[in-house]
Chain A
Amino acid sequence: MKIAVLSGKGGTGKTLVAVNLAAVAGQALYLDCDVEEPNGHLFFKPTDVKVKDTVIKIPSVDDGLCTGCRICVDFCQFNALAYIIDHLQIFDQICHSCGGCALLCPEKAIVEKNKIIGHIEAGISGKVSVRSGFLNTGEASGVPIIRDLLDSVDLDQQKLVFIDCPPGSACIVMESIRDVDYCLLVAEPTIFGVHNLNLVYNLVKLFNKPFGVILNKCLAGEENPAEKFCLEKKIPILGRIAFDAELGTINSDADIAARVSKKYQEQFTSLLTKVLMEAENEAVISS
Chain B
Amino acid sequence: MKIALPVDEKNIDTTVCPSFGRAPYFLIYDTESNDYLFYDNQAASSQGGAGIKAAQSLLDNQVSFLLTPRCGENAAQVLNTGGVKLYKTISESAMENINAFNDGKLLLLNEIHPGFHRRGGAGSI
Contact = CB atoms under 8 A, between A and B. Distances in A.
Interface of A: 56, 73, 76-85, 87, 89, 91, 93-98, 117, 139-141, 143-144, 147, 171, 174-175
Given A80-B49, A141-B121, A94 B74 contact: yes
A73 B50 CA distance: 13
A94 B50 CA distance: 11
A96 B117 contact: no
Contact of A89 (B43, B77, B117): B77
B4 to A, nearest CB: 15
A257 B53 CA distance: 54
Contacts of B53: 79, 82
A76 B83 CA distance: 24
A77 B47 CA distance: 7
B49 A84 contact: no
Nearest to A81: B52
Nearest to B54: A79
A78 B49 contact: yes
Contact of A91 (B43, B52, B82, B122): B52
B123 interface: yes
A78 B52 CA distance: 10
Given A80-B52, A94-B74, A85 B83 contact: yes
A94 B21 CA distance: 15
Interface of B: 43, 46-50, 52-53, 55-56, 59, 74, 77-78, 81-83, 115, 117, 119-125
B125 A79 contact: no
B49 A97 contact: no
Contacts of B117: 93, 140
A93 to B, nearest CB: 7
Nearest to A73: B56
Contacts of B121: 96, 141, 171
The 7 closest A-B pairs by CB, nearest first: A79-B49, A141-B125, A144-B124, A84-B82, A171-B122, A79-B53, A94-B49
Contacts of A98: 123
A142 B115 CA distance: 20
20 contacts: A76-B49, A79-B52, A80-B49, A80-B52, A81-B52, A85-B59, A85-B83, A94-B49, A96-B123, A97-B123, A97-B124, A97-B125, A139-B125, A140-B120, A141-B121, A141-B124, A143-B125, A171-B120, A171-B121, A174-B122
Given A79-B48, A79-B50, A79-B53, A141 B78 contact: no
Given A81-B52, A84-B59, A84-B78, 17 more contacts: A77-B47, A79-B53, A82-B52, A82-B55, A85-B59, A85-B82, A89-B77, A91-B49, A91-B74, A94-B52, A95-B125, A96-B119, A143-B125, A147-B124, A171-B120, A171-B121, A174-B122
Contact of B81 (A56, A89, A117): A89
Nearest to B74: A91
A84 B62 CA distance: 11
Contacts of A73: 56
A143 B124 contact: yes
Nearest to A138: B117
B124 A96 contact: yes
A96 B59 contact: no
A130 B81 CA distance: 47
B45 to A, nearest CB: 11
A139 B50 CA distance: 19
Contacts of A139: 125
B43 to A, nearest CB: 7
B74 to A, nearest CB: 6
